[in-house]
Amino acid sequence: MREFRYEQPPDVAGAVALVAGAPDGAFLGGGTNLVDLMKLGVATPDLLVDVRELTSREITDLPDGGVRIGAGVPNADLAADRRVRERFSVLAQALLAGASGQLRNRATTGGNLLQRTRCGYFTDVTKPCNKRLPGSGCGALEGVHRNHAILGQTLDGPGTCVATHPSDMAVAMLALDAVVRVLGPDGERAVPLAELHRLPGEDPSRDTTLRHGELITAIDLPPLGFPSRYRKARDRASFAFALVSVAAALRVEDGVVREARLALGGVAHTPWRALTAERALVGGPATEDAFAAAAAEELEAATPLRDNGFKVPLARNLVVRTLADLTEGSR
Amino acid sequence: MDTEITLRVDGAAHPLAVDTRTTLLDALRERLRNTSPKKGCDHGQCGACTVLLDGRRVNSCLVLAVTVGDAEVTTSDGLAADGQPHRLHRSFVEYDAFQCGYCTPGQVCSAAGVIEEARQGWPSAVTGDVTDEPDLTDAEIRERMSGNLCRCAAYANIVPAVAAVAQSEGVRR
Ligand SMILES: Cc1cc2nc3c(=O)[nH]c(=O)nc-3n(C[C@H](O)[C@H](O)[C@H](O)COP(=O)(O)OP(=O)(O)OC[C@H]3O[C@@H](n4cnc5c(N)ncnc54)[C@H](O)[C@@H]3O)c2cc1C
Ligand code: SF4
Ligand code: FES
Ligand code: FES
């Protein structure tokens, strides 16, 4: 591991100034992803600015009925929060489906959003990877890619990358229209979560649209007001990343879908908002046939790789099951 | 880069100078000679290094020692008070919940965390309705202990060992 200086500045502005002023500096949340990547030689910061206790650990009510989640709130505390469990069950379920009890105690909300891909070529410094070492190639494209993306990949050129975003929490937050509050050297801004993560495009080395030195201070969730649910398919029943996951919320009246929120995990470089499917659902009947048709429409854009074609029917079936659960009124 | 810290471990304060790269696990094992937390994977994947940090279970292999500050670190060793094994230790012996024992200190710390989390009313991924107060059924214990792997596969006995203590603590009906 590269040597680094460790700083605990007194406030968030100081933290931003420190990282903004150090090209190889990084914020440290719970460290459950960053310390791991430092051990592997994938992340090589020369300065760590600890923001775990600096960013708010509080969840507060917003006037509109939503909640503001401090970036320092541990994943475990967020999942256990009464308001989250009652009003945003999809978020509690997504958090609880991720990692382990120990990891959730340490991992923070801000760090969870910015965790990096679990692609095995990315985490192995002896392998080619355009995300870790731009221009070195994409080991996964023709290699082991059973758990890689089926949507929005870059399939040729120097930007080739077929990695997925691993977070469960972010998928739920995307379906909930979350807004990320960011503090940078030039002040504060609010970034809709849908605009935080980016597809690989020509530059897979950048996971997000954040600039160096920008700190996530909080995440705002607007009120939802109808039932929501998370479902995750994985290779073992617990303590495994998603093959495919679905975050959904549905408002049904007299058998007709009035509002629909749908996001997929494990399918793309970003948590994937299924806007095509949402449009197909709204105004239609709340039936399994209609759900399957909407999912199929979304997945028409899929470009699966040699070994991950199974994710297409898996995603479709998981969408149908999740929406059917919601229609039956279970949480 | 060396930094002066004081680690509070199992009731005693230990001033020491550590390189910033030192994990809590390595500081405990290599510097303080507390070999109760074990190094399995060193990447958060096995749970052998689990300790309690201010009473909450964490993977000490992913915690940098310089970040611990005043937090109280409790290892499986420290759960034993006055030379007497903790009720979880006794339960693991009674139910034959290990073979080689390498994962056991981590399992015990994790189980202590599971019981406390249930007491706080935290749900899990197998709690049917996340608004419910949990009851530590066998399925709940398996899910909540899934961050602790056992190469000897003593799981079948770990579950009842934890269940017996959960029952006596009133978090299992
Ligand atoms: C074995 C294992 C299994 C896992 N399984 C799952 C799973 O099933 N599902 C899942 O979703 N996750 C899983 N995880 C990942 C886990 O959720 C993440 O490691 C965790 O959420 C990261 O949070 P952290 O606070 O520890 O981040 P850190 O490791 O501290 O930071 C991660 C990144 O975010 C940056 N950062 C941190 N805080 C801020 C901030 N406030 N503003 C700006 N930048 C910031 C850091 O610089 C770093 O780049 C698993 C992890 C492990 C080790
Ligand atoms: S999929 Fe992306 S992260 Fe994985 S090897 Fe290819 S470029 Fe790297
Ligand atoms: S050694 Fe820490 S989880 Fe394996
Ligand atoms: S008892 Fe041997 S690893 Fe668990």
The answer as to whether B173 is a domain residue is no
Q: What is the mean pLDDT of residues A103-110?
A: 98
CA distance B80 to chain A (A): 21
Q: List the domain boundaries for chain A.
A: 1-52, 230-327
Domains: count for chain B: 2
For A185-203, what is each residue's pLDDT tens digit? 999 999 999 999 999 999 9
* A106:B62 CB<8 A: yes
Q: Which residues pair with A246 in a beta bridge?
A: A231, A264
Task: Examine the domain organization and report whether B10 and B68 are in the same domain.
Answer: yes
| CA B67 to ligand 4 center in whole angstroms | 30
CA distance B64 to chain A (A): 8
Give the phi and the psi of residue A216 in degrees, each rounded to 5.
Answer: -80, 125
Q: Does domain A1-52 have CATH number 3.30.43.10?
A: yes
Q: What is the mean pLDDT of residues A212-231?
A: 98
Which residue in the block uniquely carries the two structure tokens 């550590």? Answer: B18
Q: Which domain CATH number covers B42?
A: 3.10.20.30
Give the integer Cα–Cα distance in Å for A42 and A128: 12
The answer as to whether B105 is a domain residue is yes
* A106:B63 CB<8 A: yes
Last residue of a domain, one of B34, B54, B75: B75
- Does B144 reach chain A within 8 Å, measured CB to CB? yes
Rounded to two decimals, the pTM is 0.98
| β-strands A179-184, B72-74 pairing | unpaired
Reported as a pLDDT band with limits 50, 70 and 90, residue B83 is confident
Task: Examine the domain organization and report whether B70 and B105 are in the same domain.
Answer: no
Reported as a pLDDT band with limits 50, 70 and 90, residue A146 is very high
Residues 98-117 of B with CB under 8 A from A: 110, 113-114, 117
Task: Examine the domain organization and report whether B108 and B135 are in the same domain.
Answer: yes
Last residue of a domain, one of B75, B110, B138: B75
Of chain A, the percentage scoring pLDDT greater than 90 comes to 99
Last residue of a domain, one of B75, B103, B126: B75
The residue of A102, A115, A238 whose CB has the most chain B CBs within 10 angstroms, and thus the best one to mutate to test that interface, is A102
| CA B42 to ligand 3 center in whole angstroms | 4
**Nearest CA residue ID for atom 31, ligand 1:** A111
Residue B81, pLDDT score: 86
Task: Examine the domain organization and report whether B65 and B126 are in the same domain.
Answer: no
The two counts, helices (H) then strands (E), for chain A are 12, 12
Residues spanned by the domain of B133: 87-168
Residue B1, pLDDT score: 79
Residue A328, pLDDT score: 86
Helix intervals (H) in chain A? 12-20, 34-39, 75-80, 82-87, 89-96, 101-106, 109-113, 139-142, 169-175, 275-281, 288-299, 311-327
Nearest to B43 among A28, A39, A331 (CB): A39
Nearest to B56 among A39, A105, A237 (CB): A105
Q: Which domain CATH number covers B94?
A: 1.10.150.120
Task: Examine the domain organization and report whether B27 and B63 are in the same domain.
Answer: yes
Among left, alpha and beta (phi > 0; psi -120 to 50; other), residue A320 is: alpha
Q: Which residues pair with B4 in a beta bridge?
A: B17
Residue in chain B nearest A98 by alpha carbon: B125
Residue A199, pLDDT score: 98
The answer as to whether B81 is a domain residue is no
Task: Examine the domain organization and report whether B59 and B102 are in the same domain.
Answer: no
Task: Examine the domain organization and report whether B97 and B155 are in the same domain.
Answer: yes
The answer as to whether B125 is a domain residue is yes
Reported as a pLDDT band with limits 50, 70 and 90, residue A112 is very high
Which residue in the block uniquely carries the two structure tokens 């475990």? Answer: A76
For the A230-327 domain, the top CATH level (class) is alpha beta
- Does A52 reach chain B within 8 Å, measured CB to CB? yes
Its ipTM equals 0.98
Of chain B, the percentage scoring pLDDT greater than 70 comes to 100
Question: Using a CB-CB distance cutoff of 8 angstroms, which residues of chain A are in contact with residue B144?
Answer: 101
